[in-house]
Amino acid sequence: MNCYHYFVGFLLHVSCFHQCTCLDPFGMLYPKDSESRTVKHLDGMWDFRVDDSPNRNRGFEEKWYSKPLRQTGEVIPMPVPSSYNDITQEKKIRDFVGWAWYDRDFFLPQEWTSKRVVLRVDSAHYNAIVWVNSIKLVQHEGGHLPFEGEITRGDIPVKFGSGNRVTIAINNTLTPTTLPPGTIQYQHDINRYPEGYFVQNLQMDFFNYAGLHRHVQLYTTPKSYIEDVIIVTSLQGLNGLVKYTVVTSGQPGNVRLRVEVIDREGQVVGHSNLFQDTITVDSGHFWWPYTMNSSLPGYQYTFKINLTFLSSGVSDVYRQKFGIREVKVTDKQLLINDQPFYCHGVAKHEDSDIRGKGLDFALIAKDFNLLKWLGANCFRTSHYPYAEEIMDMADEQGIVVIDESPGVGIRKANNFGNLSLAHHLKVMDEMYRRDKNRPAVILWSVANEPDTTHDNSIYYFKTLLSHVKSIDSSRPVTFVANSDFSTDKVAQYTDIICLNHYNAWYQDCSHTELIQRQLTYDLRQWYAKYHKPIMITEYGADTIEGFHQDPSIVFTEEFQVEFMTEYHKTFDNLRQEFLVGEMVWNFADFMTAQGITRAFGNRKGIFTRQRRPKMSAHLLRSRYQGMINSCRP
């Protein structure tokens, strides 16, 4: 049997996801308590079971969503948020591929009867279907980004002042048209494999963690409500310009609106009564990155919206933090607030919202303390959007973010078709919808290390990059390349060229004496071809904590230091020309799929998974702290 004919059973209930191309990139404000809104978390222990039937379809055949999950068979407690892979001692759950099922009861207060009530899932990897009281509420394709459904829309039999049930089924299967892509491989030799045996092949170099990774929340709004706010800022001398659009449900003609810009001290520094307007903030405090010439990095204002519907007298109030800043790109520089910005930071991965322990505020705080200890001023969300709580910290701390989609591993011909492109466009819309007002986000990255050497990639990435520019002209766009300059066909459509380089590791392994020559040649050739600023978004060497030898050999801490030192010499030379940033790979060690080339995951971190520093962390701290001190007044 053809594996993809059999595979249809896996996605039978999500096949309609590919019918649309792009969604409306507006709406879905992050849930916040206010005078008119209430937020309730559904985090905690849920009932959980995997559908390990041969076709992974028993849950749908038996309608597990129609009754409490514990009545369908044996369940176990599963924390939400978390990745279910690392919670149990069961190998079959750690490595499970297919539909996993969750459910729990929840209570709706009687006083919510007059409200619009929404259930929001901050991240479910990968395909998800949600039922409330056995009725399908919403379905969504793609991990790492939020989705929601109104449970008071009329067809959901919700009960106020009483108990209700939410059921969520998640399928982590990766196909040629998902992001990231993958394949299902069936083994047909029944002498060596049981009938129907298959494996999930990954096209990315990290573990395929699955589950409800982030919060599940209920929130209320009035029946008529503020749907979205779009804020774009710029500079006019010492003043800040705040161009905004407020989007509401219903007809805006029968409402009274007041918007206010409020500074940190609580003073109103600008206001308007229009749905679209530009507010001038005189002598504004600009949002500056951590290392630039400002005593107030990460300065944010509050954008307060008060909307009153005159026919009912009902008001809705929402507050959105934002920073006043402007991003520009020349042929050699990246500018923030018209000042040259050099990104000295880290590529992060397998972050605190993805590990088995789930979204972890303690680890988020620890990581940002380590970033400040290093003197880092930026990071890339490699290779997927991070939790909103992490992005909030970046906004507040003045840490610049390259916001990257899950488009990692787009390398095979069947990854460039119309279905793949339609889904990728939808993902970028969802990223923009979520992160558009964040001052820390200065650059959209649509993909990591795609194959950009064949003709199919031209239409795919030209369409993708153009679309992102069409919905957000205030930020530059890029993808992260690892092709050779001579064969690349796509970087011409980016604003900044982002490159991953592993000289002396994946090629000419151990020969650090070649790094400066090879890296300098490659970067100069890239610049000569495209005349765009260049950023190194990955360079690194696997290093096992506690391994030492002199002279150095690969995998020792000494080699990692020697390796990075040679890269730094090249960076220092090219910073005077067209290099606008450097990011080490990686901030911390992370887990990958099992294989003979990875011993307990990827060890390129300058910190261990437990956040213990290697020798290289001290090297990088000395370098980055020196950069901070040299640019301060």
Q: pTM of the prediction?
A: 0.93
Between 101 and 600, residue with greater pLDDT:
101
Answer yes or no: is pLDDT of 227 > 50: yes
Which homologous superfamily does the CATH classification assign to the domain defined by 343-493+539-631? Glycosidases (3.20.20.80)
Task: List, in order, residues 6 or more apart from 495 with CB less than 8 Å away.
Answer: 329, 443, 476, 477, 478, 532
Phi-psi group of 94: left, alpha or beta (phi > 0 → left; psi -120 to 50 → alpha; rest → beta):
alpha
Report the pLDDT value the prediction gives residue 16, as an integer from 0 to 100: 37
Element (H, E) at 226: strand 226-236
Report the pLDDT value the prediction gives residue 173, as an integer from 0 to 100: 94
- Note the pLDDT tens digit of each residue in 438-483: 999 999 999 999 999 999 999 999 999 999 999 999 999 999 999 9
Answer yes or no: is pLDDT of 385 > 50: yes
Between 424 and 363, residue with greater pLDDT:
424
- Residue-range domain boundaries for the chain: 3-172+208-221, 226-322, 343-493+539-631
Which of 12-16, 48-52, 292-296 comes out lowest in average pLDDT? 12-16
Which of 157-171, 413-427, 553-567, 577-591 comes out lowest in average pLDDT? 577-591
Token pair of 225, please? 């409500």
- Note the pLDDT tens digit of each residue in 497-514: 999 999 999 999 999 999
Task: List, in order, residues 6 or more apart from 539 with CB less than 8 Å away.
Answer: 500, 501, 502, 564, 567, 582, 584, 585
Report the pLDDT value the prediction gives residue 267, as an integer from 0 to 100: 97
Answer yes or no: is pLDDT of 395 > 90: yes
Report yes or no: 140 and 128 within 8 Å, Cβ to Cβ.
yes
Class of the domain covering 226-322: mainly beta
Report the pLDDT value the prediction gives residue 215, as an integer from 0 to 100: 96
- CA dist., res. 383 & res. 406, Å (int): 5
Q: What angle do CA 505, 353, 24 make, to 5 degrees?
A: 100
Average pLDDT on 9-34 reads 58
Q: Give me the phi and psi of 153, to 5 degrees please.
A: -75, -15
* Mean pLDDT estimate for the chain: 91
**Residue linked to tokens 């322990």:** 357
Average pLDDT on 526-550 reads 95
pLDDT band at 25 (very low <50, low <70, confident <90, very high): low
Please count the CA atoms within 13 angstroms of the CA of 260 that sit on its side-chain side: 14
**Percentage of the chain exceeding pLDDT 70:** 93
Token pair of 600, please? 């307990």
- Note the pLDDT tens digit of each residue in 36-45: 999 999 999 9
- Note the pLDDT tens digit of each residue in 312-360: 888 999 999 999 999 999 999 999 999 999 999 998 875 544 455 578 8
Kindly list the catalytic residues.
449
Task: List, in order, residues 6 or more apart from 389 with CB less than 8 Å away.
Answer: 353, 359, 361, 364
Q: Which fold has domain 3-172+208-221?
A: Jelly Rolls (2.60.120)
- Note the pLDDT tens digit of each residue in 98-155: 999 999 999 999 999 999 999 999 999 889 999 999 999 999 999 899 999 999 999 9
Element (H, E) at 455: helix 455-471
Write the single-letter amino acid at 86. D
